[in-house]
């Protein structure tokens, strides 16, 4: 057996510890079920609405768990992160609570609402060109120069464990309902959320299928699961799922996901837009495109869900008003 099987980067106990850290500050989001959705897909669906989380996405969980672990004598240098927006806001908000300075490296084409909200938490925003610049190198350079702590968006055990608290809540809430989740679906960019969710859910429900959802053309997790190693997706046109555009799974996240995930599914931008509109019109929920990818895959028939208990993580709701209006029009 490999070391990652015997000693996975993140275990259920790490998520339990993260839950104790984040509980006083994070929102415990509920599981929501809607007759109109259940009837449409022929299954009992529970939605985990992380757009109701602090900063509007699940990212606050991992960011706070990571920042809270930094020793007091190392906090004066602040923190540096790179993100298309949701991790940026999570780190900025966590830094504000913990009285630390945050600098966030963000793509110049990230949604304006994400950039402005990141600044509203007191963070410094440094913009870069998504197609030409290396965001990790920029962030590492700033951190080195300032003596700051680098906070990765996904490939970090404390970040993954923090995101896993969402999966822990799913397991607890399904148990409280007396139900067993047959399928659990969550989005992935670098894979931190799905890794944490899978670890927590499979610890309590080992027979549950955990499925990763990705935009069409950005299905690097699905590709990697098929070949058994990390594989980058082909260069694809821009997707409206701006939060889900990593080139390949993270090293630590794939060490977890390759063991725990059943498979991957994808949805086109058109299908994602339809899911955003469905969530707004029928469920009265505001979900950003990347956050709706699992719902889109379900509505498009990519998941064999009939007569099963299905949990879908809606990972965020930070969407530009103009884009949202276009999608729901």
Q: What angle do CA 78, 168, 70 make, to 5 degrees?
A: 15
SS (H, E, C) 19-66: HHHHCCCCCCCCCECCHHHHHHHCCEEEEEEHHHCHHHECHHHHHHHH
Per-residue b or e along 174-196, where b marks 16 or more CB atoms closer than 10 Å to that residue's CB: beeeeeebbbbbbbbbbbbbbbb
Classified as helix, coil or strand, 118 is helix
pLDDT digit string, tens, across residues 144-175: 999 999 999 999 999 999 999 999 999 999 99
Q: Is residue 317 within 8 Å of residue 56, measured between CB atoms?
A: yes
- The reported pLDDT for the residue numbered 111 is 79
Smallest CA-to-CA distance from 113 within 251, 242, 204 is with 242
pLDDT confidence band for 1 (50 / 70 / 90): very low
- Domain residue limits, the chain: 3-57+156-328, 59-150
Q: What gap in Å lies between CA 138 and CA 126, rounded to an integer?
A: 9
Contacts of 268-275 with C-beta under 8 Å, sequence gap 24+, read 268/215, 268/216, 268/300, 269/215, 269/216, 269/239, 269/240, 269/241, 271/296, 271/297, 271/299, 271/300, 272/215, 272/240, 272/241, 272/296, 273/240, 273/327, 274/299, 275/299
Tell which residue, 80, 122, 86, has the closest CA to residue 105.
80
The three state secondary structure string of 124-186 is EEEEECCCCCCHHHHHHHHHHHHCCEECCCCCCHHHHHHHHHHHHHHHHHHHHCCCCCCEEEE
**Residue whose C-alpha is closest to residue 169's, from 153, 186, 156, 146:** 186
Is-above-0.85 flag for pTM? yes
pLDDT of residue 6: 59
pLDDT per position as a tens digit, 213-271: 999 999 999 999 999 999 999 877 889 998 999 999 999 999 999 999 999 999 999 99
Render pLDDT for 22-59 as a digit per residue (tens, 0 to 9). Answer: 999 999 999 999 999 999 999 999 999 999 999 999 99
Please give the helix or strand (H or E) that residue 79 lies within, else none: strand 79-82
The answer to whether 252 and 3 are in contact (CB under 8 A) is no
Residue bearing the bigger pLDDT, 115 or 4: 115
CATH label, 59-150, candidates 3.40.50.2000, 1.10.645.10, 3.40.50.1100, 3.30.1520.10: 3.40.50.1100
- Taking domain 3-57+156-328, whether its CATH number is 3.40.50.1100 is answered by yes
Cβ 291 vs Cβ 314: under 8 Å? yes
| pLDDT at residue 96, rounded to an integer | 97
């Amino acid at each position: 057996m490999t070391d990652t099987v015997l000693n996975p980067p993140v275990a259920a106990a790490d998520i339990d510890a993260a839950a104790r850290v984040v509980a006083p500050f994070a929102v415990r989001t509920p599981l929501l079920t809607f007759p109109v959705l259940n009837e449409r897909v022929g299954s009992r669906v529970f939605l985990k609405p992380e757009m109701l989380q602090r900063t509007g996405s699940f990212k606050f969980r991992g960011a706070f768990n990571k920042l809270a672990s930094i020793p007091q004598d190392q906090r004066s240098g602040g923190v540096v992160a790179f993100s298309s927006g949701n991790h940026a806001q999570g780190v900025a908000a966590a830094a504000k609570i913990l009285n630390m300075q945050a600098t966030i490296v963000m793509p110049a084409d990230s949604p304006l609402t994400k950039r402005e909200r990141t600044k509203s938490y007191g963070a410094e925003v440094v913009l870069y060109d998504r197609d030409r610049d290396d965001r990790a190198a920029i962030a590492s350079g700033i951190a080195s120069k300032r003596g700051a702590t680098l906070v990765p968006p996904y490939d970090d055990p404390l970040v993954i464990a923090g995101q896993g608290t969402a999966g822990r809540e799913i397991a607890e809430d399904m148990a409280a309902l007396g139900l067993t989740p047959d399928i659990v679906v969550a989005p992935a960019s670098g894979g931190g959320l799905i890794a944490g969710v899978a670890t927590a859910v499979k610890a309590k429900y080992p027979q549950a299928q955990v499925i990763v959802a990705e935009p069409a053309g950005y299905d690097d997790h699905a590709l990697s699961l098929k070949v058994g190693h990390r594989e980058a997706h082909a260069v694809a046109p821009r997707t409206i799922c701006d939060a889900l555009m990593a080139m390949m799974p993270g090293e630590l996240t794939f060490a977890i996901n390759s063991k725990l995930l059943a498979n991957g599914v994808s949805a086109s931008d058109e299908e994602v837009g339809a899911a955003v509109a469905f969530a707004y019109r029928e469920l009265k929920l505001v979900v950003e495109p990347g956050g709706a990818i699992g719902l889109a895959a379900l509505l498009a028939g990519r998941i064999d869900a009939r007569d099963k208990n299905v949990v879908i993580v809606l990972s965020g709701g930070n969407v530009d008003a103009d884009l949202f209006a276009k999608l729901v029009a």
